[in-house]
Structure 1
Amino acid sequence: MNVRLQCALAFLERTGVSSKVHSGRTLMDHLRGTHDILSEWEQDEATCLAGLCHSVYGTRTYRSELGIARSDLREVVGADAEALTWRFRMIHLYERAAVVRQPALICTLCPALRAIYLIGLANLVEQAGHVSTRKLGSAPERYRSIVRTFGPEFPSAARDALPTALRDR
């Protein structure tokens, strides 16, 4: 485990993520699981750290009350990971799925969008084994559409992860 990851985990512990509930477990379990999936998909350090922190500012469906300042998170995980974390929070899943028309071009012009999609996919895959299909709602179908759209832009492990996670339920 690298030093930045160790520092990020210690920082998250201090903010109380281990006492917050998320998808039937602790928020720390979920965040760590999302990080580990991105790491298995061989994503860069900034993307993996953003996956570790993706819910700390809250999301459309998960209301975080951690009160973490962007500058504090930036100091721990670095500017790139913090920016991805913030963007993940600001860009809603529904809106992301609607704007993608030419994935190769978009990934070339905006690598951050590719990383955000991958964080969202890892987030969903990580939760698939822990929450009911009803609670996942239409998210799996939206991500199937995104994976079909991005095709070769995603690592093969990421393309196969959602169907496997849903099948193994």
Structure 2
Amino acid sequence: MPDHAVAWLRELGAQEVAHPGGTLLAHLERVRELLASWGARPALQRAGLCHAFYGTDGFPTALLPLDRRAELAAVIGEEAEEIVYMYAACDRAASYPTLACEEPAFRDRFTGRVHSPAGQLRRDFAELSAANELDLARIDPTFREAYGTGLLAMFTKWRGLLGEPARRECRAVLGG
């Protein structure tokens, strides 16, 4: 299934989209590899590979419009697509501060809806967020210098949502 996703990413031009560290495709592959190194289950790895399909709050370039969600689900599976949608839909300013709370207030930037995602989906979102940001921090010293302290504080607050391999990687890349 990841081979089909990579082929589709290529077809949609992800290897031509500039992104820190090279191209969007290279970043997506690094995020999937990092999640795999942490022992993430296959659905989360596939979501990591495809996390920018709909654009994100921090990277507006979308490879696919939201009305084609079923097509992505057919390629990577419904569970992985749900993680991709949550990642893309996250209004970071509104959602990040409460993610580790018992009743988080997750705001969907596409619909404006505020809800509390289930525990597994929150853990997946947190791990994917950490993998994404840590990849950027690894390859771009300027990014790490500008955002590393804030990211470390956020991921420390999210420690209950992150597995030990992700927490270890946060400390190794961001300090602390």
Provide the alpha-carbon RMSD of the alignment. Answer: 2.5
How many residues were matched structurally? Answer: 162
1:112 corresponding residue in structure 2: 121
Q: Does 1:96 align with 2:95?
A: yes
Gaps of 5+ in 1: none
Residue pair 1:97, 1:142 contacting (<8 A) in 2 also: no
Residue pair 2:16, 2:23 contacting (<8 A) in 1 also: yes
2:16 corresponding residue in structure 1: 19
2:132 corresponding residue in structure 1: 123
Q: Which runs of structure 2 are paired with 1:38-53 in the superposition (5 Å)?
A: 38-53=35-50
Q: Which runs of structure 2 are paired with 1:1-169 in the superposition (5 Å)?
A: 4-68=1-65, 69-102=68-101, 109-134=118-143, 137-138=146-147, 140-166=148-174
**Per the alignment, in what secondary structure is the counterpart of residue 6 of structure 1?**
helix
Structure number with higher helix proportion: 1
Q: CA deviation at 1:11?
A: 1.4
**TM-score (structure 1 length as normaliser):** 0.83
Residue pair 2:126, 2:158 contacting (<8 A) in 1 also: no
How has the CA–CA distance of structure 1 residues 146 and 114 changed in structure 2, closer, same or farther, with 3 Å as cutoff?
Answer: farther
**Per the alignment, in what secondary structure is the counterpart of residue 158 of structure 2?**
helix
Identity %: 22
The one-letter amino acid paired with 2:124 is A
Which structure has more RCO (C-alpha within 8 Å, separation ≥ 6)?
1
Q: CA deviation at 1:159?
A: 0.4
Q: Distance in 2 between matches of 1:47 and 1:5?
A: 11
